[in-house]
Amino acid sequence: TVLLKQFAGGFLALGGSNTPNTFAGLSVRLAIGDDVDRWPMLDDEGDPVGLLVNRVRTFRDGRAVFVSTPTLRGGRIDSLFERSDRRRYHVT
């Protein structure tokens, strides 16, 4: 399908953050959330960041990576960065 691509050694699943069941169906080793400061808050199911983190807990080496341009101090990406080891990567 357009949102699920399978290849030798794995698959790529794409989904939007505006629907909680997007994150409910798959367990994945690596989850990447892009532009998380613009994700909506979902009151009935919880924060999409937490839902995405739950998808990687099945694997002992699972990772959730969040990428965004910070929009507000105390926003999602700012809070995630403060809880992290605060590494900064520079690509020349």
CA distances (Å), origin 27, targets 18, 22, 23, 83: 19, 12, 9, 23
DSSP 50: H
- Token couple for 91: 């690509």
pTM of the model: 0.78
**Could you report the average pLDDT of every consecutive run of 10 residues in the chain (92 residues)?**
88 80 80 88 75 89 90 88 87 86
- CB of 51 closer than 8 Å to CB of 16: no
Q: What is the C-alpha end-to-end distance of the chain, expressed in Å?
A: 36
DSSP 21: G
